[in-house]
Amino acid sequence: MLFLFVILAFSVTNAYLEDSWAMFSSERPLGPKCVEIPSNLSICTGIEYTQMRLPNYLEHETVSEAVHASKDWESLLRLNCHPDTQRFLCSLFAPVCLMQMDRAILPCKSLCMAVKQGCENRMANYGFPWPEMLSCEKFVDDDMCIKPVQPAKETSEIRLSAESTGCPCNISTKVKNEKFVVMASRQSDGNYLANLVLPWKKDKNFKRAVHQFQRLNCQSLGREIRESASKRPHYYEMRRHNTGRYQLF
């Protein structure tokens, strides 16, 4: 009787271990492998390749891990803060897979810098700093990295002087290093024409207005206006009838 019980217990334990190992090993790769990019990895929808390498740069060993972690970055993609944001994120979560390569193809440092330059301030507006895990110092520029389509723009400092004879605005500064908000349009010669200059104010309404302007995406603004108009044609027609012209607000 005791012998039969031991055999039965061993059989159950052995079956459990086999099932557990099968579940564990079915999804976790023993080494790098190529898998199809799943449709629910939404940050990479429409990317120009179809297979991703696992484990990825972020050490996700399974597709489900990569998909779950990517959900936190969908909001960054929706900000439209840089044309190469998707390219950069996918090179981390779903890197292109070439089995003939013995190493992963990582984003170039220039790609990271371009996206960081476009998105860091937008992220800060929502209280999120650029994460250390995406530090651009971790990447290099070589012949085997994902390059940016849109390179980082050179930063330049613009100074306004109230003492200049060409300045039509009377700007009086009572405080040293006083801050201003300047709205300007870029001219064909590369110079900027200031349309509005306001002293910086520390009140909620002023900051809210600044944040609204920072969230504007000029590339998609026209499309958003057209979509809004198509959803409410009667409203826009009524505004045109009452005012003689179309108004956005």
Q: Closest Cα partner for 102 from 139, 144, 49, 59? A: 144
Cross-strand bridge partners of residue 36: 51
| pLDDT at site 179 | 75
> What are 127's two structure tokens?
């209280």
**Ordered per-residue pLDDT tens for the chain, 249 residues:** 544 444 444 444 454 444 444 444 445 556 789 999 999 999 999 999 999 999 999 999 999 999 999 999 999 999 999 999 999 999 999 999 987 777 889 999 999 999 999 999 999 988 899 999 899 999 999 988 999 986 555 555 556 555 555 555 565 656 666 777 777 777 777 777 777 777 777 777 777 777 776 666 665 555 666 666 566 555 445 444 544 444 433
Model confidence, pTM: 0.53
Residue ranges, comma separated, of all CATH 1.10.2000.10 domains in the chain are 26-138
Is the N-terminal amide bond of 168 cis, ω within 30° of 0? Answer: no
For residue 197, the surrounding DSSP H or E stretch is: strand 192-199
Distance CA 178, CA 105 (A): 47
Distance CA 36, CA 44 (A): 12
Pairing of strands 180-186, 192-199: antiparallel
Handedness of CA 150, 71, 42, 144 (dihedral sign): positive
Q: Which fold has domain 26-138?
A: Frizzled cysteine-rich domain (1.10.2000)
| pLDDT at site 17 | 44
Distance CA 98, CA 52 (A): 9
| pLDDT at site 123 | 92
Query: Which of the 8 DSSP states describes residue 120?
Result: H
| pLDDT at site 7 | 41
Judge whether 105 and 96 are in contact, CB under 8 Å: yes
Distance CA 233, CA 208 (A): 29
Q: Closest Cα partner for 77 from 123, 130, 127, 136? A: 123
